[in-house]
Chains A and B, each alone.
Chain A
Amino acid sequence: DAGVIQSPRHEVTEMGQEVTLRCKPISGHDYLFWYRQTMMRGLELLIYFNNNVPIDDSGMPEDRFSAKMPNASFSTLKIQPSEPRDSAVYFCASTQWSGSGWETQYFGPGTRLLVL
């Protein structure tokens, strides 16, 4: 398997523009997570899905952020409108329920977002 795939790898945009980040989880995984990493706040969970359904979005910073998972192989994280403080590295991760309760999360390479 190619692992978790994220696109784009780098994004530079201007304040006020819409930004869409994309993620393809590992085939067969039924959990998908979106994380954000900044120097100030470290690595924080934004939202996660189980079987394409959002389970916990308590980490989403505000209404400008939205995430969708239309099918098992694709998810998007959208920021509209973007602001300079949204500049960060956004990671997508996936895992598969196995019944053991300790499943490993596999992370993608991240999208480096810079909002000017």
Chain B
Amino acid sequence: SQTIHQWPATLVQPVGSPLSLECTVEGTSNPNLYWYRQAAGRGLQLLFYSVGIGQISSEVPQNLSASRPQDRQFILSSKKLLLSDSSFYLCACTDPGKDEQFFGPGTRLTVL
């Protein structure tokens, strides 16, 4: 079964600094990959999804971007963080043609 790694687990960054969160997946090939954001007390908001290397779809306009340089690597980035970017970020994957989505342990980002 799949294993999803996310790092760092926690991160504190100043406003205006860049961001790079990494997600890697083991135990599968050619997965669909997802980035979600979960603000305190709120549900999950889908930010980006990818069906293959270099293929990224954005769900909401924002100052974040995503890239997929390798089949099982998904990166969430920002050039300049905002206070409102403070959140819990989750990476998830699905095997093509399968219905179950697996989640990573998440990254807690605090922007000060």
Partners in one complex: no
